[in-house]
Chain A
Amino acid sequence: MTETRMLFRRVDEPGLASIDTYRRLGGYRSLERAFRDVEPEELLGVLEESGLRGRGGAGFSMGRKASFLPRGETSKYLCCNADESEPGTFKDRELMQKNPHQLIEGVAIAALAAGAGWGFVFIRGEYAEVADILDSAVAEAYEAGYLGENILGSGSRVEVVVHRGAGAYICGEETALLDSLEGKRGNPRLKPPFPAIQGLYGGPTLINNVETLSNLPHIVANGAEWFKGFGTEQSPGTKVVSVSGCVQRPGNYEVELGIPARELIYGLAGGPSEGREVKAWFPGGSSAPVLTAAELDLPYSFEGMADAGSMLGSGAIIVADDSISIPELALRTARFYHHESCGKCTPCREGTNWTVKMLERVISGEATPMDLDIIASVQENITGHCLCVLGDSMAMPVGSMVAKFRAEFEERIRRVASDSSGLGANGAAGLHAITGTSSLAPASGPHA
């Protein structure tokens, strides 16, 4: 099994982060073409035609989203969401660290298509080193005339600012990101109005993930038809997938959408260590409902994962093998969202908090199977009722774990209740393997 590299093409070329190398390898030609030879409307058409879906989690058509922005002379903005905070996701980091100009070129093209004069890259604060790399790249792009006023004499203006976040998962939610960018507490906003109508500073705003924007130079260079040649009909293109957890070769792999998940987990990432079996896996970051070993042969695409009752999300696979306790995995997951809930809306704030307390009782043996019913019901009560998707992000995986591994939860309650020693044999070690590779996994995958 091999990768299909588009975004990661020549990613290990020494000095790719510098503009000279990037240009030597053909970089910025798409930008030149877009600014010189293509009308923004036509550009929008190509993006829409390509079927490129957002790589940040929701999977919405990038071109359509851009087309929602009102036309005409208002202050419009482009935000690049580089707040990559979803546990298990570390693809944007490598994309920005190794090939920052690919992103900047994408930002400029998207800004042109959307008619935005300003582009803000909101990068999570923990990515300090990557932010420095981006800053230098932006400076180089300004120097070369690819950013700023009157780009390449086209009369168009795109200013790009790299903004470092202050460390909150919620700021990866697009409207909380806008609030944070405006200098406020990062809380999600009520939608509608959607950012495309009223976003940053009240202006129409297009918000896209790093990977989504990094695709644009390739689409502009090769055309929508070429792009649609990759992947599936509903999920065209390639996807950089972060694989972590109980696998032998964790890292980022770029593959065509639609290949069987097994090829990613076992083929590219090497599968669990010898003698271990996959027990459960998150297909799209920790907020996706978990799938089981029986679902390993499903096509890894937006529609494939949705059909299985989960989601492709940010394209981050976290693998749990048979050494992992699912109740503890559920608690770990719930704790993350409980910690990151902004507290603005009731079901998320109280639901994550209550769920953690109940799961803690499950782990400590102070629960009954009836509590499992309550946990399941609480997850249902959260789902679809929150201001943003953070509440659902806990409710869906936790709900799926209780539903699919209920016997293990019941077993856990029984065993701990009869054995006062507390943690079971499998507990801590397995859990460590998972958490150790979440968002802080080494950027160097097999490409290093």
Chain B
Amino acid sequence: MPNRPQINFLVDGVEVPAEAGTMLVDAAKHGDVEIPVFCYEPKLGEPVGACRMCLVEIEGIPKLQTACSTPVRDGMVVYTRTDRVQAAQEAMVEFLLVNHPLDCPVCDKGGECPLQDIAMGWGPGRSRVIDPKRHFQKPIPLSPLIKIDRERCILCYRCVRFSQEVAEDEQLQLLERGASTFVGTFNDRPYIAPFHGNIIELCPVGALTSEAYRFRARPWEIEDAGSICTLCPSQCNVILTVRDERIERVLARDHPEVDDGWLCDKGRFGYQMAESEQRITRPLVRQGGVLRPASWDEALEAAAAGLRQAGERAAAIVGGQSSNEEGYLAQRILRRALGSPHVESRPRGGAGQPPRRSVGDRVAPDAGGRDLLLGLSRPELSAGVSELDSAESILVIGCDPLHAMPILDLRIRKVVRRNGTRLAVATDRPSALDGGAEETARYAPGFARGFTSALAAEVGAEGYERAPDGLAADAERIAGVLRPGSTVIVWGGEADAALLDCAHMLEAKLLEVPDGANARGLREVGCIPDAGPGLSEAFMGRNAAEIRDGLADGSLEAAFLVNADPVRDFPGGPEWSEALGKAKFVLAISMFENVSTKHADVVFPAEFYGEKEGTVTHPDGRVQRLRPGVPRPDDVRPIWQVLVELSALLGDETGIDSPPEALSAIASEVPFYAGITHEEIGGRGVRWQDREAASSFPSGDGAEARDEVPAHAAEPAAPLAPEPAGNVAEVEASGGVVRVGTYHDLWASEVAEQSPALRFLVPRQTLELAPVDADRLGLAQGDEVDVRSNGTSLRARVMIRERVQPGSGFLIEGTAEANANAFRAGELVEVTKAGGEA
């Protein structure tokens, strides 16, 4: 954004400097003058000037003006407390209270209510209204999570503007008009949308209250605790509302570089999982085939014994919700105490996935996973979240932010709507962002690499052959939207050298939408088989699929699952279950018993993020700090501490006695984190790319010595994806067959299942089909079908979607039942009506 000139203006007789063009209401703050507002909220877009609370007198303008919509100019003379302005302010408060019930003593908002504050600060102190107020049935559900009290509503438009201009779900509307106006939805349908909880926070009165928080606490009984939500890679900054050592509510802690002050409903209501009765709150050790509560000493001993026995035949899977400290200590246990390089945090991809392209100057022809990873992680290629605001174009490829990193969906919508940023979307499954995209391209499930290679050829990268016509035309359309030198590529899925080449050719920056909340941090502290802490050269270990196969064939003996549930969350769920069943020893750190802990010999209870101390790294490189807001329940201990003890039992004394020491151990091994401390991270985090230490990012050009790779570690795996043969149009779909794609639905998760407020959102398995395929297969909306391939079968309900490409079908991954991770992306599956013959 261009720097605007500094000007001076007078507010209530005081000369105040401000940036030209700032709205008066904001500029006046520099002079310590508060102008009351209700409807003004810059995050909701252009000011609407509806509440009229911010009327001020400006010299030279006869009528009072709304300070929310008047840009400040040099020499402007503004009065906010003259008799005339005060009369107007008192009048507005009086008007707003004509229909407001003033039921503050029984209102959840009482004590933290802008209407109360402004009525006290700027109101006349008494009302002259003796006439009856308007009445509505109240409170009634606006959604299963929000109750609406229309009598309290002051019609400030905030919630409606959020729905229309931020979330763009357009569900909330103002119905009727004049004094009969009320907020509602078409036909009184429930307001179901993934971000709708934000309207609770936006509401300046008690009209929109959280079903989960209603009557749980008064503002004077609660404490705020700032932390980071680690339920997804957005890593939104949050405030935990704590009463009596329990989290009662989660609010946004506005960070323009991270979340823009919004939260998704998973982040807002998912705190309930911490209180779930099914939560594991003490260590468990399997005795007589059953997991039984044990003391920490017993559990640690059992864990150490199991891992010690496996030694270098142990492997660890570190789940995305783990902190940097947990990840660092887990990989350290594996690498140092056990001598095993088999640490993985990525569900798919990684070492053993040879790069698809063969020629080019930036990634060596024989490059392994580490070089590609280094390329994709380079500081100069990393886009910060707020760089989306200034980019001229955005490419979303291989991911749907709405499901994988919801807050990014809002961010992209914002820049497309307000800045006119050009958006291109290339995905297999129709994406939530399609509507705002200038161009969209669909490729067949499993053909992501085919598309990126076509795009690389299109933008002129060397070594790529022009794709077949249809695919090349799609790539050309997408490339046509992108502005060289001012593009951010938001990408998901497997690391892909072609994508890196596209970024180089377009001089674009990259922002990953990873599979795990702290995926970037875990990679950087060494939770990958291709590289050690700091993405350093290391003995090559096995990736997720190879670990699974190794456990199954006996070449690996023990599995250490750190906040990970691979049977549910990783590709090949049934194979994972079989592999863990065959493992000699399984140690799991988990909040809940699940399909993976079913095979565990020892389980350590995991912390909820609100109880955790440590750091995480945002996909854009921002290192953020987790602070405990509530005590850990029962016998739950800090996991960093448990890992330190386990490490000691296995013979590696870490010397770490506190979270700051754990961070400094990381900083000493990750050169580009060097010197980072909790103090430096503070409440806002710090992007490591912005620190001096970023210059220590490994060059990865082969200058460093390459260790010998142990023979057992580098067995080639079968490629997971089919060869890039073409786009969807060329996929022969016949008989009862479609090509299956899978996606992680936002609500197909343990969080939603364990949080009572969110449980209604947990999806049933659905098969999304194009209308022509539904016709071809004789299926109608809602039909139950069996989806089969290679002896695997699951039951799903048909959902017909116009925008699904013919020949493709999409299933949800990560469901508790009928989990689509049983199928490989791109696999051809047979679809038959349930009950019919296969």
Contacts and interface: CB of A to CB of B under 8 A. Distances in A.
Given A385-B52, A385-B88, A387-B49, A342 B178 contact: yes
A166 to B, nearest CB: 12
A361 B131 contact: yes
Interface stretch (A22-30, A261-269, A333-341): A333-341
A353 B66 CA distance: 23
Interface in B36-59: 46-53, 55
Contacts of B162: none
Given A346-B95, A381-B95, A374 B128 contact: yes
Contacts of A6: none
B48 A381 contact: no
Given A190-B66, A381-B88, A387-B52, A354 B178 contact: no
Contacts of B47: 190
A357 interface: yes
B64 A385 contact: yes
A385 B56 CA distance: 10
A395 to B, nearest CB: 11
A56 interface: no
B596 interface: no
B87 interface: yes
A436 to B, nearest CB: 24
A190 B174 CA distance: 18
Interface in B172-197: 173-174, 176-181
A126 interface: no
Contacts of A361: 131
B92 A338 contact: no
A124 interface: no
B174 A185 contact: yes
A432 interface: no
A381 B51 contact: no
A354 B91 contact: no
Interface of A is mostly: helix
B835 interface: no
B88 A354 contact: no
Contacts of A386: 52
Interface in B125-158: 128-129, 131-132, 154-155, 157
A385 B99 CA distance: 19
Given A190-B69, A354-B131, A385-B52, A343 B179 contact: yes
B98 interface: yes
A170 B181 CA distance: 14
B94 interface: yes
B96 interface: yes
B486 to A, nearest CB: 24
Given A339-B178, A347-B92, A385-B64, A358 B131 contact: yes
Interface in A342-390: 342-347, 349-354, 357-358, 361, 374, 381, 384-387
A289 B61 CA distance: 24
Interface string A61-103: 0000000000000000000000000000000000000000000
Nearest to B134: A353
A387 B50 contact: yes
A354 B49 contact: no
Contact of B48 (A190, A338, A340, A343): A190
A346 B179 contact: no
A190 B178 contact: no
Contacts of B157: 344
A168 interface: yes
B179 A352 contact: yes
A153 to B, nearest CB: 38
Most buried by A among B98, B131, B157, B177: B177
B63 interface: yes
B53 A341 contact: no
B177 A350 contact: no
B174 A385 contact: no
Nearest to B63: A384
A362 to B, nearest CB: 12
B69 A381 contact: no
Nearest to B155: A343
B95 A354 contact: yes
B42 to A, nearest CB: 14
A190 B69 CA distance: 8
A135 B789 CA distance: 63
A354 B177 contact: no
A137 B181 CA distance: 39
Interface size, A (range)? 20 to 34
A360 to B, nearest CB: 8
B177 A346 contact: no
A339 B177 CA distance: 8
A344 B88 contact: no
A387 to B, nearest CB: 6
A346 B178 contact: no
A343 B64 contact: no
A346 B88 contact: no
Contacts of B180: 343
Interface string A139-173: 00000000000000000000000000000101000
Most chain A beta carbons < 10 A, residue from B52, B87, B157: B52
Contacts of B49: 190, 345, 387
A361 B130 CA distance: 11
Given A343-B174, A385-B92, A387-B50, A354 B98 contact: yes
A350 B95 contact: yes
Contacts of B132: 357
Interface in A164-222: 168, 170, 185, 190
Contacts of B48: 190, 344
Contacts of A354: 95, 98, 129, 131
Contacts of A168: 177
B63 A346 contact: no
A353 B177 CA distance: 12
Given A353-B99, A384-B63, A387-B52, A347 B178 contact: no
Contact of A347 (B63, B95, B173): B95
A324 B410 CA distance: 59
B39 to A, nearest CB: 9
A350 B131 CA distance: 12
Contacts of B52: 345-347, 385-387
Nearest to A360: B131
Nearest to A338: B178
Contact of A346 (B51, B128, B173, B174): B51
Contact of A381 (B63, B87, B178): B87
Contacts of A344: 48, 50, 155, 157
Contacts of A385: 52, 55, 64, 88, 91-92
A346 B53 contact: yes
Nearest to B180: A343
Contact of B51 (A340, A345, A352, A358): A345
Contacts of A374: 128
Nearest to A387: B49
B179 A341 contact: yes
A351 B181 CA distance: 14
28 contacts: A185-B174, A190-B46, A338-B179, A341-B177, A342-B181, A343-B176, A343-B177, A344-B48, A344-B157, A346-B52, A346-B95, A346-B96, A346-B154, A346-B155, A347-B52, A347-B92, A349-B155, A350-B98, A350-B99, A352-B178, A352-B179, A361-B131, A381-B94, A381-B95, A384-B63, A384-B64, A385-B52, A387-B50
Interface of B: 46-53, 55, 63-64, 66, 69, 87-88, 91-92, 94-96, 98-99, 128-129, 131-132, 154-155, 157, 173-174, 176-181
Q: What 10 pairs between A and B have smallest CB-CB spacing?
A: A353-B179, A381-B91, A343-B181, A341-B178, A350-B95, A357-B131, A190-B49, A350-B98, A343-B178, A346-B95
Given A190-B46, A346-B51, 15 more contacts: A185-B174, A190-B48, A341-B179, A344-B155, A346-B52, A347-B91, A349-B155, A349-B178, A349-B181, A350-B98, A353-B99, A374-B128, A385-B64, A385-B91, A386-B52
